[in-house]
Structure 1
Amino acid sequence: MKYLLSVFLGAVSYGILSTIVVTAYGKGYDLGEVVGSQLLTGFLLSWGLALWTKYRSRRLAKTNPAAAAKAASQEQKLTWKHRLILMAAGTPTAITGLVYYHSLRYIPASLAILLLFQFTWIGVLMQAISQRKRPNGIMLLTLAVLFGGTMLAAGLLEQGASNFNLLGVMFGLMAAVSYSLFILFSGKAVPAANPVYRSAWMLTGGLMLVFILFPPAFLFNGVILGDLLLIGFLLGLFGAFIPPLLFAVGVPHIGEGMSSILGASELPVAVALSSIVLHEHVSPLQWAGVALVLLGVALPELYKQRKQSGTGSVLSS
């Protein structure tokens, strides 16, 4: 249960971000300042937790050597090769933030989060290509449900496609691709290592990429001393610190399928906040589309569990 709750809370944290980013744009901050301050905050928080964890481990080794040895045996010691792998695995986090936040300049937050959620079928497509295996019937049904739900939730049937900015839609879909890679790497990049250190090194890789693309001038020109300090802290806390850490804890234990289902909790949170805080109009038909998207995300895992339950019943009989 703690691993399920971990991934759920991580996804809810992600749902808060779009509202904060739109607020930051309204105050005049640019993409590099927003993403850079977010990842810098996450970097500092993650390494602060890592140092505290290391201090606690050393203290435990002095007071209870047996317990410390047992804990150490359950964790994989990080070599520089592992650290580089984790840093590479952290780059999709930065890319997701860059393209997702950039899409918010062109399209409403409620539409941006729906486009981000296309990571579900994109992940299926990636898996099918890598394994050279055609999606089965339940996957095709899932894709149909997701497609229909997205059309409703985006307001496409009510407003028409001509009212949407094509560039914003493209950036939203790019965010979905990078987010699916993040989910994949969260479960497979050095899973036996301590989640605290895994998260810290992944954030290090993401921060380095952002600072290469957008040199952090805001640290030296005084901009950070304004509202960006609070905005960066909130984005870093809910976008760069809490979710990667909780995903690093939960995803290796519950699997990518269940993680995708729990990750869907991000969607209603983001849409609700965009409606309440940003005053974006969300019609009943769009909420019905949100419900369809959530159903589509859940279908594969529900089918899998039902199939396993049926197999278990046959075997027991």
Structure 2
Amino acid sequence: MKYLLAVLFGAMSYGVLSTIVVLAYGKGYVLGEVVGSQLLTGCILAWGLAIFTKWRERRALRERERESSGQQPAIIAPAAGKLTWKQRLLLMAAGTPTAITGLLYYQSLRYIPASLAIILLFQFTWMGVLYQAVSQRKRPTGIMFLTLAVLLGGTLLAAGILGQGATKLNLMGIVLGILSAVSYSLFIVVSGKAVPSVHPAYRSVWMLTGGMLLVFILFPPYFLFNGLLWGDLLLFGFLLGLFGAFIPPVLFAVGVPHIGEGMAGILGAAELPVAVLLSSFILHEQVSLLQWGGVGLVLLGVALPELLKSRRRSSSAH
């Protein structure tokens, strides 16, 4: 149960980001300051976790050495924490799509409501299916086609296109939202293949470092020197770094190996209703019953493959 709750809370943490970003924009901060402060604080937290993990590994190694030799051993660094510079650079490169996702997603919030931006970001679900079909040269199953149809229908409802028409939607915001989904699906593919044998704490810290450096190159961190960081930006950056760059990767690393990727995908969908709820209650965005029905359909589409798979397993067991 604790592993299910870990993944659920990790997904819900992602859901609060859009609301925090809109509030930061309301205070006058710009894209580079918001994303830069998020990755800076997230990176500091991740380095703290990596150092703590390293310390625990050293202590465990010393205890094992003491038990085996019966005397006080010398301090030896564990091989698990050793990374070559090639591996570090690979992980840093793998972390750049998550920074690009943040830039595209947060910029889309300047043009479209947060409730719509998160729905567009959620299109990474069918994009992942499409990538898998193309890369493996394998035709999607009937279940996948049904899932994509449910997701598309849910998206049209949740975006409010059927209720108010597409003319009221900002094209730039729509394009940025879709591109953020493309970038996020790329991040999922790349991050899973980048040095998977290394401890998650070490993988995430170098990936975050790579993402932060990319953002700092695109948007030089003047906020570090002009005093902006010591205002509200520090609070917004800390909250975004905590809920976006630190808590979810740690909780997913703890929970996903125990509950499986299928169940993790279902629980990960909790991000969507949390984001829409906060947009409605905190940002006071109008979310109609039709749109809530679309959110429900999107969640059903995410869960459908795993639910049908579980049903087939239970039927074959009987």
TM-score (structure 2 length as normaliser): 0.91
Name the structure 2 match of 1:189.
194
1:283 corresponds to which residue?
Answer: 288
* Shift in CA distance, 19/148, structure 1 to aligned 2, threshold 3 Å: same
RMSD: 2.3
Distance 1:236 1:149, change over 3 A: same
Instruction: Tell me the equivalent position of 2:236.
Output: 231
User: Paired residue for 1:209, among 207, 214, 226?
Assistant: 214
Distance 1:142 1:258, change over 3 A: same
Amino acid at match of 1:259: A
CA distance in 2, matches of 1:6, 1:95: 26
Equivalent of residue 268 in structure 2, options 246, 259, 263:
263
CA distance in 2: counterparts of 1:178 and 1:216, whole angstroms:
23
For 1:57, what is the secondary structure of its paired residue? helix
Indicate the larger mover: 265-274 or 193-202.
193-202
| Alpha-carbon contact 2:81-2:202 (below 8 Å) kept | no
Aligned with residue 272 of structure 1, among 277, 295, 298: 277
Asked whether the equivalents of residues 95 and 206 of structure 2 are also in contact (C-alpha less than 8 Å), the reply is yes
- Any unmatched runs of 5+ in structure 1? none
- Residues 30-58 of structure 1 show CA distances to partners (whole Å, capped at 9, x for unaligned) of 00000000000000010011112212222
- Specify the alignment match of 1:23 in structure 2: 23
Report SS of the residue matched to 1:271. helix
Contact 1:91–1:206 under 8 Å retained in 2:
yes
Number of equivalences: 311
SS in 2 for 1:134: coil
**Gap change, CA 1:247 and 1:89, over 3 Å in 2:** farther
Equivalent of 1:161, from 157, 160, 166? 166
> Which stretch shows the higher mean deviation, 225-234 or 175-184?
175-184
**Other-structure match for 1:63:** 63
Matched with 1:7 is 7
Q: Give distance in 2, aligned partners of 1:206 and 1:4.
A: 28
Question: What is the rounded CA distance, in whole Å, between the counterparts of 1:263 and 1:7 in structure 2?
Answer: 7
Distance 1:67 1:25 in 2: 57
User: What secondary structure, in the 3-state scheme, does the structure 1 residue paired with 2:138 have?
Assistant: coil
How many Å separate the matches in 2 of 1:104 and 1:222? 25
**Distance in 2 separating the partners of 1:157 and 1:201:** 43
Pair 1:59–1:267, CA change in 2 (3 A): same
Q: Secondary structure at the match of 1:111?
A: helix
Q: Aligned partner of 1:30: which letter?
A: V
1:292 aligns with 2:293: no
Under a length normalisation based on structure 1, what TM-score does the superposition of the two structures give?
0.91
Q: Aligned residue for 1:84?
A: 89
> Does residue 252 of structure 2 align to residue 247 of structure 1?
yes
The one-letter code sitting in structure 1 at the alignment partner of 2:31 is: L
8 Å CA contact 1:186, 1:247 repeated in 2: no
What residue is the counterpart of 1:171 in the other structure? Answer: 176
1:246/1:17 Cα in 2 relative to 1: closer, same or farther (>3 Å)? same
For the 8 Å contact 2:269–2:299, the answer to whether it is kept is: yes
Residues 189-236 of structure 1: CA distance to partner in whole angstroms, max 9, x if unpaired? 323321111111110111111111111111111111111011100011
Residue 78 of structure 1: how far off its partner (Å): 2.8
Q: State whether residues 24 and 228 of structure 1, in contact with CA within 8 Å, keep that contact through their aligned partners in structure 2.
A: yes
1:257 counterpart SS class: helix
- Give the match's secondary structure for 2:95: helix
1: distance between equivalents of 2:267 and 2:12?
9
Letter in 2 for 1:220: F
Equivalent position amino acid for 2:34 in 1:
V
Q: Mean Cα displacement is larger for which, 81-90 or 141-150?
A: 81-90
Answer whether contact 1:186 1:251 (CA < 8 A) is retained.
Answer: no
Closer/same/farther in 2, CA of residues 249 and 187 from structure 1, 3 Å limit: farther
User: CA offset at residue 186 of structure 1?
Assistant: 3.9
Q: Deviations 1:77-133 (Å, cap 9, x if unpaired)? A: 533232222212211211111000000000000000000111111111111111111
Q: Give me the identity figure in percent.
A: 73
Q: How far apart in 1 are the matches of 2:81 and 2:58?
A: 17
Corresponding residue for 1:97?
Answer: 102
Which deviates the most, 80-89 or 155-164?
Answer: 80-89
Cα contact 1:186–1:248 (8 A) shared by 2: no
Distance 1:65 1:4 in 2: 35
CA change 1:105–1:206 in 2 (3 A) is same
> C-alpha deviations, 1:10-67, integer Å up to 9, x for none?
2111100000000000111000000000000000010011112212222333334379
Which string of whole-angstrom CA distances, capped at 9 and with x for unpartnered residues, describes residues 114-154 of structure 1? 00111111111111111111111101100110111111111
